[in-house]
Structure 1
Amino acid sequence: MNSSRSQQRRERHRRYKLPRLTATMTCQEAFRTIARGCLDDLVENQQATCEGNREALHQMRIALTRLRGARSFFSSSIPSSEWSPLKGELKWLNKHLSQARDLDVALKRLSSVEDTSPQQSLDRVWRKTWSTSHRELSRALHSRRYRILLRDMLIWMENGNRSPDSLKPSTSLTTYSDRQLDRWYKKLIKKSRAFDDMNAGQRHRLRIQSKRLRYALETLGQLLPSKSHAKVREFLKSLRKIQKCLGQLNDAEQGRAIATTLATRDDGARSRSLFPTGRKARKRMIKAAALTFRQMAELKPF
């Protein structure tokens, strides 16, 4: 019975739900609504993450990415005072979540490989590293530093927009969103033109930029004119494809980096081989991503 209850706890997690925004909201109100939902997701998934629920951890990372992306999207409409220390603390939290998540993805890949005797030896090393990473994450999520971060974020969100600048007339949410989405879209397309010549780090940064645009569009696309909805849906489909292609490349790179760190003689070469980034496979994924970027450039959704 206790084992059953423990399993149920591990399976509990909260998935992201799009916030309800209206055209009558100010940009500050829209940001607070989005940010509150992200904080709720962090809080609701914390316990399950500490219990080893991989999906809950994934949802915490999504919430954090959406929160940071929303702050960037509305940066010209919300005060920047007190953001700097919060930004640093969010980076600290993201580091812990990312390290554990990267190991989750790598270990899943490792588990899918045929179970042989040498593989069992590798499996023990990786699982020990995974356990260590998740213990560190659990300590971070139970720390006073994390509680203070959540408290300060909430205070900043609720009271930070009371500054004199926020009392000035602002652009309507619909107009601001349309302009900002178009601006982010153009920046992404411009950077993607050099995609074929990018290294792994540059592709990763482009992936983050694509992901933030996708999250912003999923949240604020509901405010765009109905005549543009078909193009927006097509554009979102392309962004998801980009995220998948670049995500596979990044997972392979991260897996190989972890494997290199854990490498011990023969086991090192064997474990690195589990995360193939062969020239043909990499070229195929890069080609698919480059084609999708070109198709996105022709859409002009905004």
Structure 2
Amino acid sequence: MKDDDRTHEIAALGDDAHAESTFAALAAPLVDEALARNAAIHADASPESLHQLRVALRRLRSLWWAYRPLLDKAENTRQRALYRFLADAAGETRDWDILLELLSGIDGDVPACLRDARERALAASRETLVNADIRNVLHDALASAAKELNTASVRHALPRFAAQRVRAAERSLRARMRAASRVKRPDYELLHDVRKAGKRVRYLIEFFGPVLDERDHERVLKRLKELQQCFGELNDVIASIALLRANVHLFADQCAARDALAYLKLRRKERRREAVRLLAKA
């Protein structure tokens, strides 16, 4: 689990802490991280910067999901949709980075036309994030949610609330794993749902880890990370195939386009086999 000031603050609150008053301690560092990552991509839009921005926004989305029972339902849904929109904006460029990285495994030389397309996607990502006024949007969302929670007439003990929300996330994960394992042929959408549900469980355990004492969550995190690594690689290949198919017109040499697609399909088959194996083991 990543060690940071947030977990130390939560641990210091003790068993008498309330979920409502803890929200800001959890959310504020995530907002700061998202804003720092957003600033970084304007200075250096490396693949890692874009990836970390997406992660920060996904963690925010998961925290708002955790607090969904205590927040206005419509506003909570709107906020989570906003975080997804911002993550997708960064993701458009990140998808190109993944495609370029995968294709570099063929002969180390990626067509210039695809690199140019990545730069155009980056310009679009930057413009979307600038126009979204992400700083004010995130700070306003944090202030609004914290105010609603701190003025609520009912208080919920943090350890109990945290355990309930982690269990809810785990039930959702198990349901998606059952659905994915029951189909005769691997269903990419169902496997992707498993990946997303696994991330939510992981994030919630990381948020609330210091007040969770039911079982060995470090062991759970280790297993989830293994699943996510494999399922993430499968999702990367699937997304790259879709992106390549949508942009084959960029290739001057259509034989090169077909070779690239065949290479990605082979990688997909390998990743799919491993994902099914891990799912059966889980």
Q: TM-score, normalised to structure 1's length?
A: 0.80
One-letter identity of the residue aligned with 2:6: P
Determine the structure 2 residue equivalent to 1:8: none
In structure 2, distance between residues paired with 1:247 and 1:124: 26
Range 204-213 or range 42-51, more displaced? 42-51
1:44 aligns with 2:30: no
Taking a change above 3 Å as real, the CA distance of residues 263 and 280 of structure 1, as seen in their structure-2 partners, is: closer
In structure 2, distance between residues paired with 1:83 and 1:171: 18
Q: Which of the numbers 168, 176, 179 marks the counterpart of 2:164?
A: 179
Alpha-carbon displacement from aligned partner over 1:170-210 (angstroms, at most 9, x marks no partner): 33110111122122212312321232325111211221111
Once the two structures are TM-superposed, the CA of residue 277 in structure 1 deviates from its matched residue by: 4.4
Contact between 1:49 and 1:57, CA under 8 Å: does it hold in 2?
A: yes
Once the two structures are TM-superposed, the CA of residue 98 in structure 1 deviates from its matched residue by: 1.6
Once the two structures are TM-superposed, the CA of residue 234 in structure 1 deviates from its matched residue by: 1.5
Over the matched positions of the two proteins, sequence identity in percent amounts to: 21
Q: Which of the numbers 139, 145, 157 marks the counterpart of 2:127?
A: 139
In structure 1, distance between residues paired with 2:56 and 2:34: 6
Once the two structures are TM-superposed, the CA of residue 142 in structure 1 deviates from its matched residue by: 2.2
Taking a change above 3 Å as real, the CA distance of residues 267 and 85 of structure 1, as seen in their structure-2 partners, is: same
Range 282-291 or range 237-246, more displaced? 282-291
Taking a change above 3 Å as real, the CA distance of residues 283 and 55 of structure 1, as seen in their structure-2 partners, is: closer
Q: Which of the numbers 244, 258, 262 marks the counterpart of 2:243?
A: 258
In structure 2, distance between residues paired with 1:275 and 1:173: 46
Determine the structure 1 residue equivalent to 2:178: 193
One-letter identity of the residue aligned with 2:144: W
Determine the structure 2 residue equivalent to 1:238: 223
Once the two structures are TM-superposed, the CA of residue 280 in structure 1 deviates from its matched residue by: 5.2
In structure 1, distance between residues paired with 2:76 and 2:168: 23
In structure 2, distance between residues paired with 1:253 and 1:245: 13
Contact between 1:35 and 1:157, CA under 8 Å: does it hold in 2?
A: no
One-letter identity of the residue aligned with 2:167: D
Unaligned runs of 5+ in 2: none
Q: Which of the numbers 22, 26, 31 marks the counterpart of 1:34?
A: 26
1 or 2, which has the higher helix percentage? Answer: 2
1:71 aligns with 2:57: no
In structure 2, distance between residues paired with 1:114 and 1:254: 21
Q: Secondary structure at the match of 1:238?
A: helix
Contact between 1:242 and 1:292, CA under 8 Å: does it hold in 2?
A: no
Determine the structure 1 residue equivalent to 2:137: 149
Once the two structures are TM-superposed, the CA of residue 148 in structure 1 deviates from its matched residue by: 4.0
Root-mean-square deviation (CA, aligned residues, Å) is: 2.4
Query: Equivalences for 1:66-105 in 2 at 5 Å?
Result: 66-80=59-73, 82-105=75-98
Taking a change above 3 Å as real, the CA distance of residues 49 and 292 of structure 1, as seen in their structure-2 partners, is: farther
1:19 aligns with 2:6: yes
Q: Secondary structure at the match of 1:76?
A: helix
Determine the structure 2 residue equivalent to 1:300: none
Q: Which of the numbers 78, 86, 100 marks the counterpart of 1:107?
A: 100
In structure 2, distance between residues paired with 1:65 and 1:286: 22
Stretches of 4+ aligned residues off by more than 6 angstroms: none
One-letter identity of the residue aligned with 1:29: S
Contact between 2:6 and 2:25, CA under 8 Å: does it hold in 1?
A: yes
Taking a change above 3 Å as real, the CA distance of residues 98 and 287 of structure 1, as seen in their structure-2 partners, is: same
Q: Secondary structure at the match of 1:167?
A: coil
Once the two structures are TM-superposed, the CA of residue 253 in structure 1 deviates from its matched residue by: 0.1
Contact between 1:192 and 1:206, CA under 8 Å: does it hold in 2?
A: yes
Once the two structures are TM-superposed, the CA of residue 242 in structure 1 deviates from its matched residue by: 0.8
Once the two structures are TM-superposed, the CA of residue 278 in structure 1 deviates from its matched residue by: 5.9
Q: Which of the numbers 110, 116, 119 marks the counterpart of 1:128?
A: 116
Q: Secondary structure at the match of 1:243?
A: helix
Once the two structures are TM-superposed, the CA of residue 133 in structure 1 deviates from its matched residue by: 1.1
In structure 2, distance between residues paired with 1:279 and 1:255: 10
Contact between 1:86 and 1:153, CA under 8 Å: does it hold in 2?
A: yes
Aligned residues between the structures: 268
